[in-house]
Structure 1
């Protein structure tokens, strides 16, 4: 009597497939819906209304500004450029005379941004790609400097720079202060970005005979352009809108920026709303141009976590 052995494999149960899509993809799908788009548009409109009202008020005559709200402009539209002419080019003591302060803001902001961005990029490259003793401890120290309040460092820094406040036409001290206070954040952001760059790029550069300086110029700088643009925007807006450092390290109309003059107008000429509105909008022009011109790099810098080979 022969026995037959079944060679059939046992019936497999239902195969459970892993859930498709990560958390990021699910969030991205939810944010791409029509409802999310409508909510984003509403938030953008609400956020823009104060700026639009400021712009409309800056173009209205003095009597209209002081008697009615800016929203009544659409019922009786009357526009004038006298407010801008007076606040920018006026020569009387009550006028803004913002033209010279506008130049001072540019002279303060542009070099300070260049110093902080360039030094932060070089320091981040050294701390992320070069091997030397104590590198990690230096990075930890730079990271820890971010928690030091700005106000605590002002008096020691002012005492240290007391004899150098007249250098560079009175701008050296404020350049130095802005660079010092901007470096910790810049080094931290750029270090994290550079640390994600493929190691193969640097190995290939060393094989081709490129030194650290050439590798930094030819390889690293082009790859971190979005991160540099993001930090440049942050640093530019912070320096341009700064009031505290400008009050501490500058003196006199020859070196003080727009923010100081606008604070003086708000304090001494608080009833001249037509000057305040036009002066405030003048101070917003350059930051808006910088942000809009670097916006695509800014978005890429925020979304990119590195370079994938």
Structure 2
């Protein structure tokens, strides 16, 4: 059908003077544009940020001031604020080493999950092979398997392999349990790509890898970015897997802070700045890639 014929068909299908009903997304945007709704959202955002601000202020107060009054007292007495807590934190090898271990665990896990899941999702969406649907159903079925079920058998397996208690073991465990959801998410997104684009690229001589790199990945970039953000946040904030699979030399910041609470329950001069550093890094990652995250969410909502 030519462009003129398509335009004529649309005009015949839509009577003159009749306007199309706005979609759900358009109605939501229109409602949230009102002044009252914006004020309500601003109040909600302030309440959401209050714990973060409180933790920041608490991390800048001495133990004496923290035990004497609440953190809000420092807002009227700025002289209480000091950077000495962060100086002590940076001199605490247990905390600094755990921050480095957290990065060594989170970054490789996120990269592995995103790369492997993207390749597998492309295969499930656009590559024909025997038993493809059954294998995908098996992957979807793995979504209901809780992490707790795999702790004991995987611990024995890692012990036999000699990687129990190491960063490698923690990375492999997070990768294995993160792949089912990642593959499911990306496969559903990749399947929405128009088939004509892929067929045109194949007619031009593009192979599967080139098709994946030049067509699928650019179109699925928002979904891949959203997955990367989710995976980064999940692994960075995890403590259960690290408690089981990490030893004293490979424990992340969550376990290090838990050890501080267990040993010294009143050392807020270390706990407060350590908790703030542990929280602010994922927030910075989220805000740095928020545009890609929102694009991925909106793209999945309008398809």
Asked if residue 39 in structure 1 is aligned to residue 34 in structure 2, the reply is: no
Equivalent residue, structure 2, for 1:118: 115
- The residue matched to 1:161 in structure 2 has which SS? helix
1:1-309 matched pairs, under 5 angstroms: 20-77=21-78, 78-90=80-92, 97-166=94-163, 170-252=166-248, 254-305=249-300
Q: By how many angstroms is 1:53 displaced?
A: 0.4
Equivalent residue, structure 1, for 2:8: none
- The residue matched to 1:197 in structure 2 has which SS? coil
Return 5+ residue gaps in structure 2 as ranges. 1-15
Question: In the TM superposition, what whole-angstrom CA distance separates every residue of 1:67-116 from its partner, at most 9, and x where no partner exists?
Answer: 1001111222122111111122136xxxxx31111111111111111111
Equivalent residue, structure 2, for 1:6: none
Q: Check conservation: 1:98, 1:261, Cα contact below 8 A.
A: yes
Question: Separation in 1 of the partners of 2:24 and 2:223?
Answer: 25
> CA 1:306/1:32 → structure 2, altered by over 3 Å: closer, same or farther?
closer
Stretches of 4+ moved more than 2 A in 1? 15-28, 163-167, 305-308
Return 5+ residue gaps in structure 1 as ranges. 1-14, 92-96
Q: What TM-score do the two structures reach when normalised by structure 2?
A: 0.89
Question: In the TM superposition, what whole-angstrom CA distance separates every residue of 1:115-143 from its partner, at most 9, and x where no partner exists?
Answer: 11111001100000111121111111111
Structure ranking higher in helix proportion: 2
Question: In the TM superposition, what whole-angstrom CA distance separates every residue of 1:145-195 from its partner, at most 9, and x where no partner exists?
Answer: 11111101111211222123438x922211110001100110011011101
Q: By how many angstroms is 1:22 displaced?
A: 3.5
Equivalent residue, structure 2, for 1:4: none
Question: Separation in 1 of the partners of 2:123 and 2:302?
Answer: 18
- The residue matched to 2:300 in structure 1 has which SS? coil
Question: Separation in 2 of the partners of 1:47 and 1:307?
Answer: 28
Q: Check conservation: 1:61, 1:80, Cα contact below 8 A.
A: yes
Q: By how many angstroms is 1:209 displaced?
A: 0.8
Q: By how many angstroms is 1:40 displaced?
A: 0.9
Q: Which stretch of the first structure deviates more once superposed, 155-164 or 99-108?
A: 155-164
> CA 1:148/1:292 → structure 2, altered by over 3 Å: closer, same or farther?
same
Question: Separation in 2 of the partners of 1:102 and 1:36?
Answer: 40
Question: Separation in 2 of the partners of 1:302 and 1:110?
Answer: 22
